[in-house]
Structure 1
Amino acid sequence: MNHFPRNTPLSRLIGLLLVGASASHAYAASEEIQVYMDEMNAPGAFGLDVHSNYVVKGNRTPDYPGAQAPGKVFRLTPELSVGLTPTLDLGAYLLTSIGPGGMTSVDGEKIRLKFIAPKYEGQAYFWGANLEVGRVAHRLDQNPWNGQLKGIIGYRTTRWTMAANPNIDWKIAGPVAGPAMLGVDSKLAYKTDAGYEVGAESYNGFGQIKHLGHLNQQSQTLFGVIDTDIHGWDVNLGVGRGLTPASDRWVLKAIVSVPLKSL
């Protein structure tokens, strides 16, 4: 068995991943269940990611009048992106869903700007940030305009991939005042001899930044995932299990990256 040395950037990152996995206010499943890493479009090149998830078993009671309860909801979110520079990537999302009764709806739009710091050839670690602003329908949030700042840190070898996203979410505009919230998403994956990766992703809320705690009242979900390449199409598949009463109990998710030609 291989042992990682202590007190190194790699060991500290592994520790952060384990903290995130053990530690999330009750939400519906996000339109985008993904741990951000260092993937970027080349300048002028377009990308298309199709995010989808389905809450197999979750809360069927709305959190507020007019809210969409997460149970039995299927979410489909196409994301179109373009590389601006070697370190900047611009993306836009269209949020859609199908409710338990088969009702299809458009739930909002979001834009994001992603930065990944320059890397030298062979560099294993990476870091960056992602800023996202969006407007969503009342059934998803009582405040229509929201923002998120996502940190991106990671480490990749020929076999192992590790990454963590500390997230700060806040309300930009709306009738209901709300404090900024902290969350941490993380990923640990191993590349098999067959070429695909198997691993785990965790999505965890820690509550209000000013009053962290009460973790059993936050959403915490752990996914088993597979990442593979099918004829140039990157695919991420996952099965998630909620770990607290505030979490959706079972969630299925898929992300399909469609290769597109540059301008």
Structure 2
Amino acid sequence: MPAIAAAQENYEIQVYPSETTKKGTTVFELHSNFTGSGTTARTGSLLATNGAFHETLEITHGFSDIFEVGFYVFTSDRGADGYRFVGTHIRPRIRAPESWKLPVGLSLSTEFGPTNKAFDESELGVEFRPIIDQTIGKFYWSINPTIGWSVKGPEAGKGLDGMMFAPAVKLQWELN
């Protein structure tokens, strides 16, 4: 079931569950978002974001019962700026096997890739996303406390000052 989300990051597309894609399965997803209230003028090298439509193609393949790799292609369409290629990322993810019998779901995702500096000053970024989740009856929660940093761009090489912490939370109640 599609979800409506509010996010500050222009290409944040979901709060991830700990479950990985089944072995031998490939999933194609198209994530669409709209920036209804963003920047209205160019800021340094960054294009304005107000009124931009972002389309992200995600292709994920399950390589084992606990390991998957996702690949993203990011694009943007904003009126006078036209339809633009933004960048690509690759996202390997591994999860704790069910045999561990943990009380929560647990996985670790790493995402990295280049982006066009007209959309992100960090031309090459890396992020680590621990994923913790649990279903209790009809209630589901997931926490993704993401830590990221720039490998190439103005924030690169600044140590802790150049790091970004972006926690994401999903709370869901099933109605039926």
**TM class, shorter-length:** 0.7 to 0.9
The equivalent position to 1:40 in structure 2, one of 17, 20, 39, is: 20
The equivalent position to 2:87 in structure 1, one of 108, 111, 128, is: 108
Larger radius of gyration: 1
2:29 is matched with: 49
For the 8 Å contact 1:124–1:156, the answer to whether it is kept is no
Per-residue deviation, 1:86: 0.7
Per-residue deviation, 1:50: 1.1
Per-residue deviation, 1:87: 0.7
For the 8 Å contact 2:19–2:107, the answer to whether it is kept is no
1:228-239 matched pairs, under 5 angstroms: none
The equivalent position to 1:174 in structure 2, one of 153, 167, 170, is: 153
The residue identity in structure 1 corresponding to 2:89 is K
For the 8 Å contact 1:32–1:52, the answer to whether it is kept is no
Gaps of 5+ in 1: 1-23, 194-263
TM-score, length-scaled by structure 2: 0.85
TM-score, length-scaled by structure 1: 0.58
For the 8 Å contact 1:31–1:51, the answer to whether it is kept is no
Per-residue deviation, 1:70: 1.5
Note if 1:186 corresponds to 2:172. Answer: no
2:4 is matched with: none
2:129 is matched with: 150
Separation in 2, partners of 1:174, 1:122: 42
Separation in 1, partners of 2:149, 2:18: 24
Separation in 2, partners of 1:96, 1:55: 13
Separation in 2, partners of 1:163, 1:131: 17
Separation in 2, partners of 1:59, 1:186: 25
The alpha-carbon distance between structure 1 residues 70 and 122, as it changes in their structure 2 partners (threshold 3 A), is: same
Computed over aligned residues only, the root mean square deviation of the Cα atoms, in angstroms, reads 2.2
Could you say what secondary structure the match of 2:79 adopts?
A: coil
Separation in 1, partners of 2:11, 2:154: 23
The alpha-carbon distance between structure 1 residues 112 and 70, as it changes in their structure 2 partners (threshold 3 A), is: same
The alpha-carbon distance between structure 1 residues 173 and 57, as it changes in their structure 2 partners (threshold 3 A), is: closer
For the 8 Å contact 1:32–1:77, the answer to whether it is kept is no
Separation in 1, partners of 2:114, 2:170: 28
Q: Which has the higher contact order (CA 8 A, sep 6+)?
A: 1
Separation in 2, partners of 1:36, 1:70: 25
Per-residue deviation, 1:119: 1.8
Note if 1:160 corresponds to 2:143. Answer: no
